[in-house]
Structures are given as C-alpha cells and as structure tokens.
Chain A
Amino acid sequence: MTHPTKRIARAELDRLFALLSEDARVVHGPTVRDGAIVDAPLASVSELPIGWTDQQAPGRYRLTRRDDAAVFGFVVGPSSPKPLFFPPEETLYRAERRADGKVGFVPVVPSPAPKALLGVRACDVAAMRIQDRVFRDREHREPRYAARRDDTIVVGVHCLAPGPLCFCASMGAGPRVGEGADLALAERLDAGGHIFLVEALTARGQALLSRLEGSEASDEELRWRDEALASAERSMGRTLDTAELPGRLYAALDHPRWEEIASRCLACGSCTSVCPSCFCSGSDDPSDLEGAHTSHTRHWESCFTSAHGELHGHTTRPRTSERYRQWATHKFGAWVSQMGQSGCVGCGRCIAWCPSGIDLVAEVRAIADGVSPVTMPVAREVTAPREESLVPRAATVLARTVESSDVVTLSLRMEPDGRRDFAPGQFHQLSLPGVGEAPISISGDDGAGVEHTIRAVGKLTEALCALRVGAQLGVRGPYGRGWPMDELAGGPVVVVAGGIGLAPLREALRRMLADPERYPDVRLFYGARTPEDLLYGRELLGWIDRPGFDLHVTVDRAGPTWRGHVGVVTRLLRPATVPASARAILCGPEVMMRFTVDALAKLGLPHTRQWVTMERHMKCATGTCGRCQYGPHFVCKDGPVFRFDEVSMLFGRHGL
C-alpha cells in the first residue's frame, strides 16, 4: 500500500515540532543525557541527538559523534515509550478502613496532558501495539493505561541503518514503521542534501502532513526509501528463526543450556526492565501508621525476582536457570499463546543493557535450533474489552462459620447490590486495606451471600479469618474459568478433593445434587489430614441419602474413634467406585492431583475427561501482571480450572 508521502526540507522539522506541540501537547523524543540517547520531553528540535550515534555490543553501549548532522542517526537507547504509558510505579487506588469496620475504595486515574512521540523506531511502535494489547485491547481495559495512551500522536522513524544487536526483521516488527504510527519519517542525507520523506499512515497523520511545507515525494525518492529499507532488512545485526519457536522452546525445557546461562546471568532484571514490551508487575499496599489509609500501588517487576514466583511464602522459581527459562519461554513462546503474537520486537535492548552481556538471540538459538516442537495451546479469542478498574468494591460479612482450627467460611454481601453472580470454581480477590489482597476461591452461595472458605496461613488470611459479622472488606471479581458444568452433565461425575480443595468444588457439588436429572451420578472422594480437618461435615452428612450420590472419605491420620478409611485418597479409586465413562474434577495439593490423574487414567479416564485446578499467587487477576503464569497460561483467566491435557506437559515440573 502506498501512503501519501511528502518530501520536506530538514528545516521543516521545526514546523512539524510546532504542529505536534499544539493544544498543549507534550512532545517526547530522543535526546542525549548521561552518555546515552534517552527519551525525554523536548522543548525543540535542537534537543534531538543531532550528529550523535551509538555503538552497541552485548553488555556495552557507547555514545559517539557522527561526522554528519543526521537527526536520527542511531538505533535505540536504554529507554522506550513503555514508561510513558505503563509507569514504573503508580497508585491504582486509595483505600480507607474506618473505625466502625467499614471500608471505601477510590480509584486513581490520571488525566495527563496529551502527548506526541517524535522519532519512534519501528520496533518500538510494534512494542506499543503489544502493550496496547496487554493493557487496553484485550478482555480488560486498564483505564490508567488508556488515559495515558489514548490520543497520543506517534511519529515513527524508518530504520535505515540497523545496529549490530537489531533483529526486528526476524520478529516482523521492522525496519519499516507499521501500524500504530500516524507519520513515518525517512531521513536522507547525501550529496543531494538533507531531507525527510514524511509518510501519513493515518487520517490524523494526513492532517498533519497537509500542513507541512513540501512537495509530493518523487518516484525516485520513494524507490530510494524502499531500497534503503530492503537493504536494512538484509543487514540486521542478528537473525532468529521464529518458525514454531514457541513449540521448540517448550520442547527444550530440560536443555542443559539453561543451567549454563545461570552461571553468567545475574538475575538482576535489567533485561525485562529495558524491554519495551515486558509488562509484569507487582503491587504493594503502603499505609499510614494506623493502616486506616492505604494506597494500592503497582510497580514494574521481573521474572528474575523471587517475588514474581511467590506462592505461600516460597518462590516457584528459586533457581536463576528457571528464571531465565521463564523469561525466554515467555517472551518467545508463551506470549504467542497468551496474546496471539510474540513478545519480542527484536530491538536488542536486553542484549546491550544486560550488565553481563548475555545475548538472548544466541541463547535462544543454542537452545531451540533443530528441536522438534511440541504443540502449543492456541491463543484464546478476545472478546470486546470491558472496563477493568482493578479497584475493589466493599463487601460485608453476613455470616462467619468456623470449619476447623484454622479454616473459616465467610458469607459476604457484595455492596451495594448484593449480587451473587459467579460460576462454580471461580475466585474473588479479597482485600483488607492496609493488609493486602489475595485470591480466594468462591465456596458457595448460601442464598444470602457469597461464601469463601479461607485457611489462615499468613497475615492477610489470618486477618480475614478474624473478621466479625458486620465488618467489611474489599472484593474484586469474580474471575477465572470455573468447572465445566455443561460438559459434566449426562454421565457419571467423579469429584476428588484434598483438604481445603473441597472449597472450590462445593458449589459445583451443590448445583449437581440440586439437578439430578442433568447429573444423575455424582461421586465425591474426599481426603483430609485428620477427621478434624474435614470441611463441611454437616452438609456432607446431609447429602449421603440422596439417590445418585456416593461419598467416600479418608484421612491421613486418625484417632481410635475414627471408623472410616485411613490413607491417601487414591486408594479409594477402584474399578468398583469409578466408572470408566466418568468425567472427573479434581482439587487439592498438586501431588495429590498428580497421583489422582494417573490413578483415574488407569481406570479408563483419559486426560481430556479430567479437570484440575492450578494455584498461583494472583495479583491482578486480569491477565495484566504476569504473576500467575503457568507456562503458556495465565492461571487467573485461562484457569484456575484446566482440562488436564492443557497442562499435562507442565504438571509436576519444578521451576515453572
């Protein structure tokens, strides 16, 4: 496609700058600072890095002088547009916890001055598209990101002289500026003079272009540009074969190279921080001394931190090799399943700015070249994005039931409307201002409120368990994919629960028992540590006389008064108790589920007829913080319930 293109004189850049600054727009662009070319708000064209260039190698960057006055005669520096829209640290909402136990939440959404970005490279324009997808154009629309990003004018620059670390051509992101920019510049500096070809890619770009002084670009000039771009494409410093790369990387999870890289990798997080597309974040709840006033903040995190893999006070990725593997497999592999495109645009920043000089391209090639790929899950369809404020609403404790020594069920009324919409297996994010937020599965609907069964294992869950009737807390959700209630209908259903794993299954059980026509045969196998740890005893007893319901209970240890089974739950699974035609839903500790899946498979239930729940420490619950990643899945939105074949290649593996 040919876009309207004008040839303008170098001096005409001043006019372009003035046009971009109209309506109090802040113009951001490259400038020289602290020995590098960084992005900053600019006052005039003269602040651009005129006559400067950069020399880059793995772990090395040097700013040097050019022998001409090129305006864009360099590639990319350490900064990208990312922080303009997804700031390194920001407040999402303020929360208040009053003396009477009531809570309030006030979203913080900025209303920044509109921006114009001048001189954005093709790779960075592509990276902006990726971030748009993460934060704005998928299921959820993050209003803070949107407020900063919408109405931004983007003036791109075609890359005619790529650097030694560049591989945008391999990633399909450059060197030609693509969708996302309003204007694209090509800088020409030769015996014929110093000119720019300015191409309008959008209507807005066209409006700007029409106000620039210049002539229509000649055929020769357009040919020059296209040839320069073609030659740039051929002279990329690095190349990467991306065909089936996700499947090849996931087939190489046990490659010895991961461990070898760990002897050089500092796990410092510099790579993810300079990456223009990395989106992972963590959150904190700093408060005043009373804990009465809290800000919920979000900050850039990295898969190289222990916090990123945190689960119940441990980290799922203790080793540097596992963290590096997470980074590379996410970037080039999981990302494709998550977003329908690779997470890398080939800018080379992570190679230049790695203090240890690790070359991501070389490592990925060493690991994935020649490997035959495994099949990856296909990206899920994106429905129209809905506004996601990430801000909790208040809920009031209607009832509090002590289930065991450390487990409490809270029935909550969602304020203001008392809504009780959720699917069995989904979860809520429960929060206490000043203390924190955690994912808690929904354990039922008692007709008045939504029930949550919580085990006191940390400060937050202890505080939640201690809430009294009438007290308030924060709730977000419901989130996630629940049990496949439709697929379970018709035939026998085997439900296997371990310990508190019965909680997310209870509402599914209730609904099945309430509808014997759709669910004629339901069998619950429930194992707990001791008889005292069995949940919902009274309710279970009330079910045993129902036709079409079978209950099998076992405990690990019991005193002399216990008459039931002792031993692991898998011992109860036998041909006599499990029909081969059954479908099974499982929830419990990962080891228990692993043994159960194998036992059920032996009894004739293929992986496609078994569903498990995965546990990760969800932070955002909307697929935007990366915390809950499990291979190519986000547990928060693709799970927590998975059909076993979706996760079988990952299940039971360490360091994911």
Chain B
Amino acid sequence: MGSEAHAPPARPRLGVFKLASCDGCQLTLIGCEDELLALSEKVDIAHFPEASSRTDVHGRFDVALVEGSVSAEWQREELLSIRERSKLLVTIGACATSGGVQALRNGKDVSEFVRAVYASPAYISTLDRSTPVSAHVSVDYELRGCPIDKHQLLEVLTALLVGRRPAIRDESVCMECKRRGNVCVLVAHGEPCLGPVVHAGCGALCPRFARGCYGCFGPKESPATAALAARLKELGVPAADLARRFRSISGGAPAFADEAAKQELEHD
C-alpha cells in the first residue's frame, strides 16, 4: 500500500469491443458521463470506437469489455484475437453473455430468416447459431442485462482496478424487488413474472412498473425454471407462451433454453 503512493502505476489499458449487438451496452458506458471522466483519468481508454476516434485495433489491453454475441465467422476470429491480447475479458450484456435475442434463431433454419428479412440475401454472411463469448474463449467476468446496468458496470471496473471481488449478487430479481418494497405482481395480480429465476441487477425495473420480469439479466444461480414454469401454468399461462418467455432475451442461456425446449415439446 505505502509503496503504491510513490510511483503511480501506468494506467491500465481498457478496450471496448463490439460483436453482434445493438450498441446499447456500450451506450451505458457512454451514459456514465461524470463517472466516465473520472474513469478516463484512472484508465487509458485505448480502444472505444463507439465513443471516440481513438482506436487501437491491434494493441494489448488490461481489460477488454466485449459486447455482442458471435454470429459470424469474422466475429469469432476477432474474439480470439481480443482474448489473446487482453489480461481480463469482461462480457457486457445479454448478447455477449448468453447469445442475446439473436439466439432465437438457434435450432432454426437461418437461410430462411435471411431470405425473409433482407432485400439482398446474397450480401449476408452469418453463422447458423448466435453463441455467447464464453463458447469460444475464457471469460473473467460476465455482466448481465439488456442493456447492462450502469452501476454494475462501474462496480466491476472499480473492483478490477482496486483488486477486489465485484460486489455483484447472483441472487434473484425478487430480492431486489422486495428490498424496493414493490408489491409482487405475480402474487397480487397473477401477472407472469420470471423474477424468481432471473439474475438480479436491474433493480426490479419491470415489477416496479407493475409488469412481470421478462428475464433480460438471464438466469440466476440455481434457477428453478421447472418449478416456476409449473407455477405459471397453474396461473393459466399456456406452454407456448412460457416457451416464448424463456426464449426471449436470454434464450441462449442453457437453463432458459432447456426450459423453453421442454415447454415447446409439451406444446407440440
């Protein structure tokens, strides 16, 4: 400790990278305005194409923030290169962490989607599955959310800089919902809510506005998806609807993908 005071260490180099994604998570970083200034004093934001013209495509990084899933071959190659050049790799958001909305196509015929969506399908080159970063390289920390939460992002960066474990809880959305004093929408209104199996971090945003959680932070630690599915059925939610709910934002996460598949089977 004492010695650190005398020779300030070189500022750690941070890179922000994007694969298949909508940029929403990077926007969260830009949205940190005040904190971003303080952050840029502490770290050298060496590559952040979204926010500045300064880029360093081939440099080495202490921390790489990776947004987006792997949806095309060039993304896979870039990811391998980022990993090689970075000490710590943090995925930001549902796409990078579990495949994102793009993972809806997994298990389906992609060429059909391409034909349906794009005017000139010939220009489109895509893999038939959208996969999370962790399917290709080792990940040091996963930040959930669609988009990520600003406080969690700052917490992870701070913890990495200070050298402690990020204070990010792997508990359910219900815990946050209750701490905020919300009235449970599932119990009081019979509203289908995924909160009990979803990773905390959003501050129970949807239940705060009287809506059920739709799971953008992905599964929590030990998610009881089968038990929740059974309960929601008792409340009258049909299997097909349940499958859709588990598929939506974090459908690529194994726990949700499995439950969705089970419900689809039942529906067929």
Which residue of the partner chain B has the closest CB to A33? B183
- Given contacts A60-B187, A356-B228, A38 and B181 within 8 Å (CB-CB): yes
CA distance A63 to B189 in the complex (A): 9
CB 8 Å contact bits of B1-13 with A (1 = contact, 0 = none) = 1111100000000
Complex contact B164–A291 (CB within 8 A): yes
- Chain B 141-185 against A: per-residue CB contact (8 Å), 1 yes, 0 no? 000000000000001011001111101011110110011111110
B230 interface residue per 8 A CB criterion: yes
Could you give, for residues 222-245 of chain B, a 1 whenever the CB lies within 8 Å of some chain A CB and a 0 otherwise? 101011101100100000000000
Point out the residues of chain A lying under 8 angstroms from B180, CB to CB.
Answer: 88
Contact mask B117-158 → A, CB, 8 Å, 1/0?
000000000000000000000000000000000000001011
The interface-forming segment of B56-64, B65-73, B86-94, B193-201 is B193-201
Contact at A463–B163, with CB atoms within 8 Å?
yes
Measured in the bound complex, the distance between the Cα atoms of B42 and A463 in whole Å is: 20
Q: For A434, what are the chain B residues with a Cβ–Cβ distance below 8 Å?
A: 162, 164
Q: Contacts A36-B188, A61-B188; is A320 near B222 (CB within 8 Å)? A: yes
Check B222–A289 contact: CB distance below 8 A: no
Contact of B163 among A356, A357, A459 (CB under 8 A): A459
Interface residues of A in 275-292 (CB under 8 A from B): 282, 284-291
Residues of A301-327 whose CB lies within 8 A of B: 301-302, 305-307, 318, 320
Asked if B116 is at the interface of the complex by the 8 Å CB criterion, the answer is no
A34 interfacial by beta-carbon distance below 8 Å: yes
Contact A270 B178 (CB under 8 A): yes
Q: Are A270 and B184 in contact, CB atoms less than 8 angstroms apart?
A: yes
Is the CB–CB distance between A460 and B164 below 8 Å? yes
Shortest beta-carbon distance from A40 to chain B in Å: 9
Given contacts A89-B179, A287-B158, A435-B163, contact A61 B187 (CB under 8 A): yes
Q: How large is the interface on B (under 10, 10 to 19, 20 to 34, 35 or more residues)?
A: 35 or more
What residue in chain A is nearest B5 (Cβ atoms)? A99
Chain A positions 546-581 with a Cβ under 8 Å from a chain B Cβ: none
Q: Which of A89, A356, A435 is close to B164, meaning CB atoms less than 8 Å apart? A: A435
Asked if residues B5 and A307 are in contact (CB atoms below 8 Å), the reply is: no
Q: Give the residue among B155, B175, B187, B197 with the most A Cβ atoms within 10 A.
A: B187
| Contact partners of A270 in chain B: CB under 8 A | 174, 178, 184, 196
Residue of A nearest to B210 (CB): A34
A169: interface (CB < 8 Å): no
Contacts A100-B5, A268-B196: A307 and B167 contacting too (C-beta < 8 A)?
Answer: no
Identify the interface centre among A267, A290, A354: most chain B CB within 10 Å of its CB.
A267
Contact flags (1/0) for A250-272 with B, using CB distance below 8 Å? Answer: 00000000000001111111100
Which residues of A, 451-505, contact B by the 8 Å Cβ criterion? 458-460, 463, 466-468, 470-471
Report B8 CB to chain A, min CB distance, Å: 10
Q: In the docked arrangement, what's the CA distance between A34 and B183, Å?
A: 7
Of A268, A285, A291, A466, the residue contacting B174 (CB under 8 A) is A268
CB distance from B63 to the nearest CB of A (A): 13
Q: Given A78-B184, A306-B221, check contact A300 B179 (CB 8 Å).
A: yes
Q: How far is the CB of B157 from chain A (nearest CB, A)?
A: 8
User: Are A356 and B196 neighbours in the complex by a CB distance under 8 Å?
Assistant: yes
Whether B178 pairs with A88 at a CB distance below 8 angstroms is yes
How far apart are B70's CB and chain A's nearest CB, in angstroms? 29
Tell me the bound Cα distance from A222 to B240 in angstroms: 59
Chain B's closest residue to A352 (CB) is B187
Q: How far is the CA of A130 from the CA of B122 in the complex (A)?
A: 70
Binary per-residue interface labels of chain A (385-408) against chain B in the complex, 1 for a CB within 8 Å, 0 otherwise? 000000000000000000000000
Measured between beta carbons, the chain A residues less than 8 angstroms from B29 are none
Q: Per a CB cutoff under 8 Å, which of B157, B169, B226 touches A307?
A: B169
A78, A284, A470: which contacts B167 (Cβ < 8 A)?
A284
Whether the Cβ atoms of B162 and A34 lie closer than 8 Å is no
Minimum CB–CB distance from A52 to chain B (whole Å) comes to 13
Residue from A62, A269, A289, A352 in contact with B178 in the complex, judged by beta carbons closer than 8 Å: A269
- Whether a CB of chain B sits under 8 angstroms from the CB of A537 is no
Residues of A contacting B39 in the complex (Cβ-Cβ under 8 angstroms): 289
Interface residues of A in 565-605 (CB under 8 A from B): none
A466 to chain B: which residues have CB within 8 Å?
Answer: 1
Residue of A nearest to B189 (CB): A35
Docked-complex contact B188 and A357, CB < 8 angstroms: no
- Rounded to whole Å, the gap between the CB of B233 and the closest CB of chain A is 12
Chain A positions 345 through 367: 1 when the CB is less than 8 Å from some CB of chain B, otherwise 0: 00000001111110000000000
Which chain B positions have C-beta within 8 A of A273?
174-175, 178-179
Question: Helix, strand, loop or mixed for chain B's interface?
Answer: helix
Say whether B114 faces chain A, with CB atoms less than 8 Å apart.
Answer: no
Minimum distance in angstroms from B149 CB to a CB of chain A: 14
Q: B186 at interface (Cβ–Cβ under 8 A)?
A: yes
CB pair A35–B183 under 8 Å, yes or no, is: yes
Nearest A residue to B195, CB-CB? A268
A655 at the interface (CB under 8 A from B): no
- CB nearest neighbor in B for A306: B221
Given A269-B171, A274-B178, A299-B179, residue A355 in contact with residue B186 (CB < 8 A): yes
Complex Cα distance, B164 from A458, in Å, reads: 9
B2's contact among A267, A289, A306, A468, by CB below 8 Å, is which?
A: A468
Q: List residues of chain A with CB within 8 A of the CB of B161.
A: 289-291
* CA gap between A267 and B225 in the complex, in Å: 11
Q: Tell me whether A353 and B187 are in contact in the complex, defined as CB-CB below 8 angstroms, given that A270-B174, A463-B163 are known contacts.
A: yes
Q: How far is the CB of A640 from chain B (nearest CB, A)?
A: 23
A436 within 8 A of partner (CB) = yes
CB of A91 within 8 A of chain B?
A: no
A164 at the interface (CB under 8 A from B): no
Q: Mark B34-70, 1 if CB is under 8 A from A, else 0.
A: 0000110010000000000000000000000000000
Q: Are A79 and B164 in contact (CB under 8 A)?
A: no
Q: Which residues of B contact A436 (CB under 8 A)?
A: 164-165
Cα–Cα, bound, A36→B172 (Å): 22
Q: Which residues of A contact B3 (CB under 8 A)?
A: 468
Closest to B165 in A: A459
Give the complex CA separation of A305 and B155 in angstroms: 20
The interface residues of chain A lying within 8 Å CB-to-CB of B164 are 285, 291, 434-436, 459-460, 463
CA distance A34 to B5 in the complex (A): 53
B165 contacts across to A, CB distance below 8 A: 436, 458-459
* A112 touches B (CB below 8 Å): no
Q: Is A59 an interface residue (CB 8 A)?
A: yes
- Docked complex Cα distance between A308 and B2 (Å): 34
Contact of A97 with B by CB under 8 A: yes
A289 touching B158, Cβ below 8 Å: yes
Cα A439 to Cα B80 with chains together (Å): 41
Given the known interface contacts A266-B197, A459-B165, A468-B3, the answer about A305 and B171 at a Cβ–Cβ threshold of 8 Å is yes
Chain B: minimal CB distance from A62 (Å): 7
A285 touching B167, Cβ below 8 Å: yes
Contact of A266 among B4, B184, B221, B224 (CB under 8 A): B224
21 A–B contact pairs at CB < 8 A? A60-B190, A62-B188, A79-B181, A89-B179, A265-B227, A266-B172, A269-B171, A269-B172, A269-B174, A270-B178, A284-B167, A286-B155, A289-B158, A305-B221, A306-B221, A353-B187, A356-B231, A436-B164, A458-B165, A459-B164, A470-B2
Write the residues of chain B forming the contact surface with A, with a CB cutoff of 8 angstroms: 1-5, 38-39, 42, 155, 157-158, 161-165, 167, 169-172, 174-175, 178-184, 186-190, 193, 195-197, 210, 221-222, 224, 226-228, 230-231, 234
Q: A35-B188, A263-B227 are in contact. List 8 more A-B contacts (CB 8 A).
A: A78-B183, A268-B175, A291-B163, A291-B164, A300-B178, A305-B221, A318-B222, A353-B184
Q: Which 6 A-B pairs have the closest CB atoms?
A: A273-B178, A291-B162, A88-B179, A268-B196, A284-B167, A266-B196
